[in-house]
Amino acid sequence: MSILVVGSVAFDDIASPSGSAKSILGGAATYFSLAASYFTQVRVVAVVGDDFGPEQEKVFHQHGIDTRGIERAAGKTFRWGGTYAGNLNEAKTDYTDLNVFERFQPQIPKEYEDTEFLFLANIQPTLQADVRRKMNRVRLTGCDTMNYWIKGTPKELAATLKLVDVLLINDTEAKMLANETNLPRAAQKVLAMGPQALVIKHGEYGATIFFREGAFGLGHHPFRAPSLPIDEVKDPTGAGDSFAGGFMGYLASQGEVNREVLKRSLFYGGVMGSFAVERFGTERLQALTRDEIDARFQIFRELTHLE
Amino acid sequence: MSILVVGSVAFDDIASPSGSAKSILGGAATYFSLAASYFTQVRVVAVVGDDFGPEQEKVFHQHGIDTRGIERAAGKTFRWGGTYAGNLNEAKTDYTDLNVFERFQPQIPKEYEDTEFLFLANIQPTLQADVRRKMNRVRLTGCDTMNYWIKGTPKELAATLKLVDVLLINDTEAKMLANETNLPRAAQKVLAMGPQALVIKHGEYGATIFFREGAFGLGHHPFRAPSLPIDEVKDPTGAGDSFAGGFMGYLASQGEVNREVLKRSLFYGGVMGSFAVERFGTERLQALTRDEIDARFQIFRELTHLE
């Protein structure tokens, strides 16, 4: 099954204790689609400016990603600059130039209308809801959001959450959204807002998926996938989007949504997130093979597997 | 195989968002020995004061714990007061009255000299080393420490680390001990200081065991056990000591130290830590059954188990 992602394509300036990189291809939709492309056919809806040229487009095409939904607008592409220090868990934003992204109104090409798996990357919640409503044949919708929308547009976000099946956020976001510091209780509160399942990403500790009672016809016990301790984290940018790409991409590739598939999806999410941080920007995600991915999947499996 | 623990027995005053408790039985050796008692015969070396009476002794004896090594000294037992707020991850110490613990010089009863498994709970590193040197028949030594000794007595701690097989500490302590923010690199640096294996406890995210190359004749790939997300953490006091009790107690019960046993030990550590936090003080640890423990072990196993 193919999957459609709607989100940002950007140029990033990144500095971390391991070095720095200027004007490299980034954005949630970019990380997501590269990660998902190892599992299934990916379609992208985004907006870019005049500075997005054949060099950038080639990155998508080399992975068979359908870019007919990437709109060209007059002006510059979204630009973000960030610096990581210390434990690398959080970026200090140096600047955000929304540029053409400021007026982004997602347009769905006719050829995409039959897409059955949808991922709404982190954009304004009303735009997320609009896209979901336009896609009549979607079977499963994944969604991301962030502190900015949780605090700034809670009503709009609440409306969007009623339309999505799986929400993927991190611990801090889950606790903020639920206004609850205990994680399992926060998860239950978020699930009561709409989603069938909630994936909470714990960074280097992995991720947990919580289910609503009866979701997907499954038992509601949570499931956790570990992450691999990485010797050198060069650039954490895009780790969460790469996680989402691995998770949703594997899910879409299986067609059927059942508990075992969701468990494996969670492991593949962790695998793709762990690759993403090993190099600056999308460098590592651009140059993987499915064999490398499956070898790391096995390592993750062994990491917590009892005989 | 029986196991000997050397550490503190205390009375605690604890307050958390779930309530408070006054003058309840606590201390690292208490939590450790209760947790370990579900797996194997436990011996304790500690010191208490005049206020430690039959009521407290009964808690140990009801679990078949050998208290001949608990020395009675004139004065009061060690007392600690702590308050938890917010996310419960760290206690604010309200007061510490060392009392008889200030002059603790561990004495090993003759009947304990044949013990083959030893756990050095968090006490002054030189005392830990002295105990280890006195125990000629020990096959495996586990050890805990804390920020106070890492910062305050680094040389003494370095000498102790050369004598222990498994060090059990948390993320913050590991990073501080290694002076390194990346966890796998910190683990390698700590292993180079002496221990064959290093267990790093991640609180609600579980724990990872790292091995020296060739340790215990095993492969050196790390292994991770998850922790169960607990709906209500009433009192985190003693979680780490209960983890150590489950880990070391199960290990001692198996006699043989191999990779599969160490993996299961890590799971049992998480299980006992997760029980400990469900009630104030040692209440939950006092009233468990092995069936309840094994049922939770199965839940932990399922939590990350792929078919």
Taking alpha carbons only, the member of B77, B66, B27 closest to residue B44 is: B66
Strand segments, DSSP code E, in A57-206 are 66-72, 78-84, 91-97, 117-120, 140-143, 166-170, 197-201
pLDDT tens string B189-200: 999 999 999 999
Check if the beta carbon of residue A146 is closer than 8 Å to that of residue A126: no
Check if the beta carbon of residue B88 is closer than 8 Å to that of residue B14: no
Of all residues in chain B, the percent with pLDDT exceeding 90 is: 88
The answer to whether A267 faces chain B, any CB pair under 8 Å, is yes
Per-residue confidence band for A217, with pLDDT thresholds at 50, 70 and 90: low
| Whole-number Å distance between alpha carbons of B303 and A182 | 18
Per-residue confidence band for B138, with pLDDT thresholds at 50, 70 and 90: very high
| Whole-number Å distance between alpha carbons of B178 and B189 | 6
Per-residue confidence band for A220, with pLDDT thresholds at 50, 70 and 90: confident
Distance from CA of B72 to the nearest CA of A (A): 41
A45 pLDDT above the threshold of 90: yes
Per-residue confidence band for A91, with pLDDT thresholds at 50, 70 and 90: confident
Distance from CA of B173 to the nearest CA of A (A): 14
Neighbours of B286 (CB within 10 A): 14
Q: What is the CA angle B267-B174-B170, rounded to 5?
A: 40
Query: ipTM, 2 decimals?
Result: 0.88
| Whole-number Å distance between alpha carbons of B55 and A29 | 63
Q: Provide the mean pLDDT of chain B.
A: 95
Q: How many residues does chain A have?
A: 307
Provide the pLDDT for residue B217.
67
pLDDT tens string B69-97: 999 999 999 999 999 987 677 789 999 99
Q: What Rg value do the Cα atoms of chain B yield, rounded? A: 18
Of all residues in chain A, the percent with pLDDT exceeding 90 is: 87
The answer to whether B179 faces chain A, any CB pair under 8 Å, is no
By three-state DSSP, how is residue A129 classified? helix
Mean pLDDT of B21-37: 98
B268 pLDDT above the threshold of 70: yes
In this structure, what DSSP letter does residue B160 have?
H
The answer to whether A259 faces chain B, any CB pair under 8 Å, is no
Choose from A84, A175, A182 for mutation: most chain B CBs within 10 A: A182
The answer to whether A204 faces chain B, any CB pair under 8 Å, is yes
Choose from A172, A220, A224, A231 for mutation: most chain B CBs within 10 A: A224
Neighbours of A303 (CB within 10 A): 22
> Given an 8 Å threshold on Cβ–Cβ distance, is B226 in contact with A224?
yes
Distance from CA of A249 to the nearest CA of B (A): 18
Choose from B90, B200, B232, B306 for mutation: most chain A CBs within 10 A: B306
pLDDT tens string A104-139: 999 999 999 999 999 999 999 999 999 999 999 999
Phi-psi region of A215 (alpha: psi -120 to 50; beta: other; left: phi over 0): beta
Judging by DSSP bridges, how do beta strands B19-26 and A3-6 pair with one another?
unpaired
Strand segments, DSSP code E, in A103-231 are 117-120, 140-143, 166-170, 197-201, 207-211, 223-225
Pick from A66-80, A88-102, A144-158, A204-218: least confident: A204-218
A213 pLDDT above the threshold of 70: yes
> Given an 8 Å threshold on Cβ–Cβ distance, is B263 in contact with A306?
yes
Phi and psi at residue B141, in whole multiples of 5°?
Answer: -115, 125
By three-state DSSP, how is residue A239 classified? helix
| Whole-number Å distance between alpha carbons of B281 and B283 | 6
Per-residue confidence band for B20, with pLDDT thresholds at 50, 70 and 90: very high
| Whole-number Å distance between alpha carbons of B306 and A304 | 10
Pick from B175-189, B217-231, B263-277: least confident: B217-231
A303, closest residue in chain B (CA to CA): B223
Q: Please list every residue in chain B whose beta carbon sits closer than 8 Å to the beta carbon of residue A202.
A: 205
User: Measured between CB atoms, which of B185, B225, B264 is closest to A231?
Assistant: B185
| Whole-number Å distance between alpha carbons of B169 and B174 | 6
Check if the beta carbon of residue A276 is closer than 8 Å to that of residue A238: yes
Q: What is the CA angle B148-B152-B158, rounded to 5?
A: 100
> Given an 8 Å threshold on Cβ–Cβ distance, is B229 in contact with A187?
yes
Q: Please list every residue in chain B whose beta carbon sits closer than 8 Å to the beta carbon of residue A267.
A: 306
By three-state DSSP, how is residue B191 classified? helix
One-letter identity of residue A64: G
Provide the pLDDT for residue B184.
92
Paired tokens of B197: 């294996």
Q: Provide the mean pLDDT of chain A.
A: 95
Taking alpha carbons only, the member of B241, B238, B255 closest to residue B40 is: B255
A103 pLDDT above the threshold of 90: yes
Of all residues in chain A, the percent with pLDDT exceeding 70 is: 99
Provide the pLDDT for residue A216.
74
> Given an 8 Å threshold on Cβ–Cβ distance, is B206 in contact with A208?
no
Provide the pLDDT for residue A219.
65
Per-residue confidence band for A231, with pLDDT thresholds at 50, 70 and 90: confident
Q: Please list every residue in chain A whose beta carbon sits closer than 8 Å to the beta carbon of residue B221.
A: 299, 302-303
Per-residue confidence band for A228, with pLDDT thresholds at 50, 70 and 90: confident
The answer to whether A202 faces chain B, any CB pair under 8 Å, is yes
Provide the pLDDT for residue B219.
65
User: Measured between CB atoms, which of B182, B205, B267 is closest to A231?
Assistant: B182
User: Measured between CB atoms, which of A182, A223, A231 is closest to B184?
Assistant: A231
> Given an 8 Å threshold on Cβ–Cβ distance, is B224 in contact with A182?
no
Residues 6+ apart with CB under 8 A from A110: none
Residues 6+ apart with CB under 8 A from B284: B275, B276, B278
Q: Please list every residue in chain A whose beta carbon sits closer than 8 Å to the beta carbon of residue B267.
A: 306
Provide the pLDDT for residue B87.
66
Instruction: For tokens 């735009």, name the residue.
Output: A127
Judging by DSSP bridges, how do beta strands B207-211 and B197-201 pair with one another?
antiparallel
Per-residue confidence band for B221, with pLDDT thresholds at 50, 70 and 90: confident
Judging by DSSP bridges, how do beta strands B197-201 and B166-170 pair with one another?
parallel
B184, closest residue in chain A (CA to CA): A231
Taking alpha carbons only, the member of B52, B78, B34 closest to residue B283 is: B34
B210, closest residue in chain A (CA to CA): A229
Check if the beta carbon of residue B293 is closer than 8 Å to that of residue B249: no
**pTM score:** 0.93
| Whole-number Å distance between alpha carbons of A247 and A261 | 10
Check if the beta carbon of residue A64 is closer than 8 Å to that of residue A34: no
